Structure 1
Amino acid sequence: HMKSKNLILIVVIGAILLLGGCGCGGYNKMVGLDQNVKGKWGNVQSEYQRRSDLIPNLVNTVKGAANFEQETLTQVIEARANATKVNINADDLTPEKLAQFQQAQGEVSGALSRLLVTVERYPELKANQNFLNLQSQLEGTENRIKVSRNDFNTAVQDYNTVVKTFPNALYAGMFGFKEKGFFAAEPGADTAPEVNF
């Protein structure tokens, strides 16, 4: 009778030590992956900020062209203003908030695309060195945005996989490790936006 009590006690202590060890290792891994996601999110925000900073110069350069369509410029300015209102804290990267951010930035992308298509009708702009420099910077920024979004999605996938697998899933929620959102693929997302003339 004493042997069975000792055996049960040893099994219970063994289980506690095993789960405790897994818990500490799993917790530390989740912390590391969470920090990686936050770092990648910072890079994403930085690239979108770079694009946002280019827009006023682009708009001012285009505004200088004779009779340039005001509606197109207004759409770019409004989309940029709306996008700057959607800020997400790195601690709150929920799928819903990320979708909101992506939609706002998508409106900026659409407005910029319309602007660049409209420029086709203005030969003086296509020959303007300042405009050509801004166009080149914008193209590079769009490529950096794509890369930083891909890096972010990879980091989120690694994090979500660890948070949702056993035994981490048992205590991830208790420690505040919740599933994070991804950037969804957009139509044509497999190619960088065309901004060539």
Structure 2
Amino acid sequence: MDWLLIIVILLIIIVLALVVKFYNDLVNGRNKVKNSWSQIDVQLQRRNDLIPNIVETVKGYAGHEKSTFEEVTKARANMANATSVKEVAEADNMLTGALKSLFAVAEAYPELKANKNFLELQEELSDTEDKISYARQFYNDTVLKYNNLCEQFPSNIIAKLFHFEESEFFEAQEGTRATPKVKF
């Protein structure tokens, strides 16, 4: 009788320890997702801060390319107003396309391509784009690990019990890899 009680108590302790472990793993995963999202947000804000300087520099050389500047400005505003992962991804894709168009316009102006300010801004933006790309990859890797915890047995039981929700991946839209068409 005493052995049976000891075994039951040990089983209860083991089950409770597993519940605590899985709960803590899920909290840790959710917090990593939030942190990795904030890293994307920091880099997107850095890019947003660089864009007006680039636009103004290009305007000095190619002021007649009004539609390109309007497209960049609109895309930047959409980025500032986006709230969900999906909205940010859509706005980011729009902004990336607008920036491609802006740099395609800049290619047509040799004096601009040689301008020191423009080259420095272009280098900073390129560096920021690399950081954004890395942050997206890290975010998606973190989401994958967290979502696996939410879906795999036995942690999925704890996830459902404590209402842990799966996170969205940061996904590029179709057509964002297309080369922009610039007409003069």
- Give the ranges of 4+ consecutive aligned residues of structure 1 lying more than 6 Å apart after TM superposition: 9-12, 187-190
Query: How far did residue 18 of structure 1 move?
Result: 3.4
> Are 2:90 and 2:172, in contact at CA under 8 Å, matched by a contact in 1?
no
Counterparts of 1:78 and 1:15, CA distance in 2: 60
* Structure 2 runs not aligned, ≥5 long: 178-184
**Paired position in structure 2 for 1:68:** 64
Identity of aligned residues (%): 40
- Alignment of 1:131 with 2:118, yes or no, is yes
Amino acid across the alignment from 2:90: Q
Provide Cα deviations, 1:116-172, integer angstroms capped at 9, x if missing partner. Answer: 011111122112111111111111111010111111111111111112111111121
TM-score, normalisation: structure 2: 0.85
* Structure 1 runs not aligned, ≥5 long: 88-96, 191-197
Amino acid across the alignment from 1:183: F
Superposed CA RMSD? 2.3
Greater share of helix = 2
Counterparts of 1:135 and 1:101, CA distance in 2: 23
**Paired position in structure 2 for 1:93:** none
Counterparts of 1:174 and 1:102, CA distance in 2: 30
> Are 2:93 and 2:172, in contact at CA under 8 Å, matched by a contact in 1?
no
- Where does 1:83-122 land on structure 2 (aligned, <5 Å)? 83-87=79-83, 97-122=84-109
Query: Which of 78, 102, 117 is the aligned partner of 2:74?
Result: 78
TM-score, normalisation: structure 1: 0.80
- Alignment of 1:172 with 2:168, yes or no, is no
- Alignment of 1:58 with 2:54, yes or no, is yes
Equivalent residue pairs, number: 176
